[in-house]
RNA sequence: GACCCUAUCGUCCAGUGGCCUAGGACACUCCCCUUUCACGGGAGUAACACGGGUUCGAAUCCCGUUAGGGUCGCCA
């Protein structure tokens, strides 16, 4: 790895549109990774030159999204820094000054009240960190018109303020989407006219839909804000995003951020557009959830349970339940229905499950008698744990000449109201003897009724 | 239309001239495990866009075609 001699400074410069696109999130992620790798600085700058709508809320979408992904910025909104302000709307004086410089250099002219930059009309060579060497021929004004810097009403155009801010904020590496690739030679002309050394550029491929079409805001998975509420763990989404256009090259799918930071190189980033595959993100989420330590899992779970109105007596009791439920689901959103049976006295029964496992088609009496036998066996237990529950159930099954499953299914439905759930013995252990027996009694009545 | 980028299984990646009858993962199908649902294990379907070169040898290099994407705003 070649260590840059100047301290690395990268930036993420979104405009507050009201949502953070996954493509933008990945751009932020790669900028963050690169800065962390080189012990550099990651700057967040809000490009709000042209927005009148709900900006506070829209800015919050960005900062919330980055926070959620764990991408902490070193300078920017809510944080400050010595190159601020970090909102373009507050940097007018700086832009005026830079415009003055261009004016003095004779680079500007007025066009119907707007201010334009007179291109030097040369060939511009870009040595892109990802795309390699690209030569642009800007000699023809017909195909490459002069860019506008400022509108007649005094507001600023993206190309100009973007370049000025990158100069002012001493950005060394501009890592952004490939949609800016064709704009880059114009930006380079601006740097030169301002007597500034252009930064290194790295243009990342875009993220498209599965069918190759452009991913618009409304496509599933496009807005980062939908992930937290759907029950994705930020570490899983972050991991998935790393794998979109980059690879650790050893066939790993799950990779820690510290490993990504250690292995990441800009010139290893793919040049090909990537299609977004929510199914893989979903799978990765399941992997993360399964392997996550209980404390972290509980932390992520609590908001979902609170939102569903579920309450629990103690943190320990909650952890007990989450521990047996944790290996089962892939989306935190599903948690309430799995957890509810443990923290409610009024069980809601799944009718289909009751019909199938308790009433059966013509074996209602059988299910009831089995539950009764099981209740008696359990009542006699002096220790209430997975091992003794399993032993007692199997013993009872043998006595009745029934298959294990023929006791398990009624027991499951009677104790939880559902046909799916954690392992039966784990579930009963956590439920406790008293509640188990009373639910069995209710189950018996239901089977007969 | 002009300019720019790209082109390996349906999808994400590996592959940087011989180790490739192309590897991993997701998804899908089947089997095993199993008290449900998951997990896990095993097997399978499935790709170098096409055409020319270069080379003893090409998925890998070059050219062309085709296809996809991007840019060409007084949007960012």
Question: Is residue A215 located within the same domain as residue A183?
Answer: no
ipTM of model over 0.90: yes
What pLDDT is recorded for position A3?
52
What sections of A210-314 are H helices per DSSP? 226-230, 234-242, 257-263, 278-291, 294-307
Residue A396 sits in a domain of what CATH number?
Answer: 1.10.10.350
In a domain, A156, yes or no: yes
User: What does the alpha-carbon distance between residue A237 and residue A235 come to, in Å, rounded to a whole number?
Assistant: 6
Domain membership flag for residue A392: yes
User: What local confidence, expressed as pLDDT, does residue A276 receive?
Assistant: 94
Q: Are residues A241 and A184 in the same domain?
A: no
- Whether A189 and A100 map to the same domain: the answer is yes
Separation of CA A170 and C1' B75 in angstroms?
25
In this prediction, residue A365 carries a pLDDT of 64
pLDDT for the residue numbered A54: 58
Question: Closest nucleotide to residue A159 (Cα to C1')?
Answer: B76
Q: Which two tokens stand for residue A334?
A: 């599903």
Shared domain check, A219 and A195 = no
**What pTM was computed for the model?**
0.94
Q: Quick check: is A3 in a domain?
A: no
Nucleic strand B within 7 A of Cβ A423: yes
Any domain includes A397: yes
Task: Flag whether A299 is in a domain.
Answer: yes
What's residue A215's pLDDT? 82
Is residue A200 in a domain? yes
Same domain for A199 and A146: yes
Pairing label, strands A114-117, A148-150:
antiparallel
Rounded Cα gap, residues A194 and A108, in angstroms: 12
A83 sits within 7 Å of strand B by its CB: no
Tell whether A4 is covered by a domain. no
Q: What is the mean pLDDT of each run of 10 residues along chain A (449 residues)?
A: 75 94 97 98 93 78 97 97 94 97 97 96 96 94 94 95 98 97 97 97 93 80 94 98 96 96 96 95 97 97 97 96 96 96 92 87 73 95 95 93 91 95 97 96 89
| CB A417 within 7 Å, strand B | no
What's the pLDDT at A1? 46
Pair A211, A193 in one domain: no
φ, ψ of residue A343 in degrees (nearest 5) = -120, 25
- A193 and A222 belong to one structural domain: no
Within 7 Å of a protein beta carbon, the nucleotides of strand B are 1-8, 10-15, 23-27, 35-40, 68-76
CA distances from A148 to A100, A136, A190, A393 (A): 15, 19, 12, 79
Residues A116, A160: one domain? yes
Please name which of A310, A318, A335, A346 lies closest in space to residue A439, comparing C-alpha atoms.
Answer: A346
A248, A275, A302 — which closes off a domain? A275
CB A181 within 7 Å, strand B: yes
Q: Which of A343, A360, A381 is the last residue of a domain?
A: A343
3-state SS record for A306-338: HHCCCCCCCHHHHHHHHHHHCCCCCCHHHHHHH
Backbone φ and ψ of A234, nearest 5°: -55, -35
- Of all nucleotides in the shown strands, which has a C1' nearest the CA of A330? B38
- In the 225-264 segment of chain A, residues within 7 Å (Cβ) of strand B are 243-247, 249, 251, 253
Whether A339 maps to a domain, the answer reads yes
Alpha-carbon span A32 to A175, nearest angstrom? 10
A197 with A219, same domain: the answer is no
CATH number of the domain at A22, please: 3.40.50.620
Hey, how many other C-beta atoms are within 10 angstroms of the C-beta on A184? 20
Question: Do A363 and A339 belong together in one domain?
Answer: no
Residues A148, A224: one domain? no
**A280 beta carbon to strand B: under 7 Å:** yes
CATH classification at residue A335: 1.10.8.70
Q: How many domains does chain A fold into?
A: 4
The pLDDT value given to residue A364: 58
User: Among A159, A176, A204, where does a domain finish?
Assistant: A204
pLDDT at residue A356 in the model:
87
* Residue A304 and residue A232 share a domain: no
Distance, CA of A370 to C1' of B57, in Å: 74
Domain extent at residue A409: 351-448
């Amino acid at each position: 790895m070649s260590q840059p001699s100047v301290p690395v400074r990268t930036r993420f410069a979104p405009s507050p549109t009201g949502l953070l696109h996954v493509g933008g999130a990945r751009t932020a992620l790669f900028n963050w990774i690169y800065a962390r790798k080189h012990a550099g600085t990651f700057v967040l700058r809000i490009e709000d030159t042209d927005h009148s709508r709900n900006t506070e809320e829209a800015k919050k979408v960005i900062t919330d999204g980055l926070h959620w992904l764990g991408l902490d910025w070193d300078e920017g909104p809510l944080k400050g820094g010595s190159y601020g302000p970090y909102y373009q709307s507050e940097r007018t004086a700086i832009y005026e000054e830079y415009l003055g410089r261009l004016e003095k250099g004779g680079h500007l002219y007025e066009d119907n009240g707007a201010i334009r930059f007179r291109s030097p009309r040369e060939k511009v060579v870009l040595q892109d960190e990802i795309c390699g060497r690209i030569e642009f021929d800007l000699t023809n004004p017909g195909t490459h018109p002069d860019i506008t810097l400022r509108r007649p009403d005094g507001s600023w155009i993206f190309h100009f303020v973007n370049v000025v801010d990158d100069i002012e904020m001493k950005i060394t590496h501009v890592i952004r989407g490939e949609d800016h690739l064709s704009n880059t030679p114009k930006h380079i002309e601006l740097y030169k006219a301002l007597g500034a050394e252009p930064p290194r550029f790295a243009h990342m491929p875009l993220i498209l839909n599965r069918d190759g079409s452009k991913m618009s805001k409304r496509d599933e998975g496009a807005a980062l804000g939908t992930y937290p509420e759907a029950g994705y763990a930020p570490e899983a989404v972050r991991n998935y995003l790393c794998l979109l256009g980059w690879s650790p090259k050893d066939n790993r799918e799950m990779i820690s951020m510290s490993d990504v930071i250690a292995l990441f190189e800009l010139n290893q980033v793919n040049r090909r557009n990537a299609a977004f595959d929510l199914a893989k993100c979903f799978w990765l989420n399941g992997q993360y959830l399964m392997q996550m330590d209980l404390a972290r899992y509980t932390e992520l779970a609590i908001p979902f349970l609170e939102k569903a109105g579920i309450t629990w007596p103690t943190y320990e009791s909650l952890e007990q339940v989450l521990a047996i439920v944790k290996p089962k689901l892939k989306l935190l959103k599903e948690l309430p229905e799995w957890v509810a049976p443990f923290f409610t006295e009024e069980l809601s029964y799944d009718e289909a499950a009751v019909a199938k496992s308790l009433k059966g088609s013509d074996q209602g009496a059988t299910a009831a008698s089995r539950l009764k036998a099981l209740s008696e066996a359990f009542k006699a237990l002096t220790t209430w744990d997975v091992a003794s529950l399993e032993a007692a159930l199997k013993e009872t099954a043998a006595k009745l000449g029934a298959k294990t499953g023929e006791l398990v299914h009624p027991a499951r439905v009677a104790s939880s109201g559902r046909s799916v759930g954690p392992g039966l013995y784990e579930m009963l252990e956590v439920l406790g003897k008293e509640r188990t027996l009373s639910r069995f009694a209710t189950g018996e009545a239901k089977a007969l009724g």
